[in-house]
Amino acid sequence: GDSVTQMEGPVTLSEEAFLTINCTYTATGYPSLFWYVQYPGEGLQLLLKATKADDKGSNKGFEATYRKETTSFHLEKGSVQVSDSAVYFCALSPWAGSYQLTFGKGTKLSVIP
């Protein structure tokens, strides 16, 4: 079945450091890929998405590129802020219009001043 593997956390960075959170997936067909963010005590919010190979999703300074050849969707940000401290989830939808998402286990990011 489909699966998503994220790098294990927690990840602790200093403010203005470069962030990479690795995400790889296993799926048949042509999945859509997502990054969600969860701030403390809240639900998940969609951060960015990509629906086909080579697409780049971006939002709030975060970027991720859908790499079919490496089955990856790594999340990056050039300069993190304390307000980016949260848990980040990579997820896939197995095909456009599917009602079910498969989530990774999440990576907790802490940014210190």
Partner 1 sequence: DGGITQSPKYLFRKEGQNVTLSCEQNLNHDAMYWYRQDPGQGLRLIYYSQIVNDFQKGDIAEGYSVSREKKESFPLTVTSAQKNPTAFYLCASSPRDMANSPLHFGNGTRLTVT
Residues near partner 1, by CB under 8 A:
32, 34, 36, 41-46, 49, 51, 89, 93, 95-101, 103-106
Nearer to partner 1, 18 or 52 (CB): 52
Measuring CA to CA, which residue among 65, 63, 86, 68 is closest to residue 25?
68
* d(C-alpha 111, C-alpha 91), whole Å: 23
Coarse DSSP helix, strand, coil percentages of the chain, rounded to the nearest 5 percent: 5, 50, 45
Compute the least distance from the CB of residue 72 to partner 1, in Å: 18
Task: Name the residue nearer to partner 1 (CB basis): 28 or 100.
Answer: 100
- State which residue, 17 or 65, has the beta carbon closest to partner 1: 65
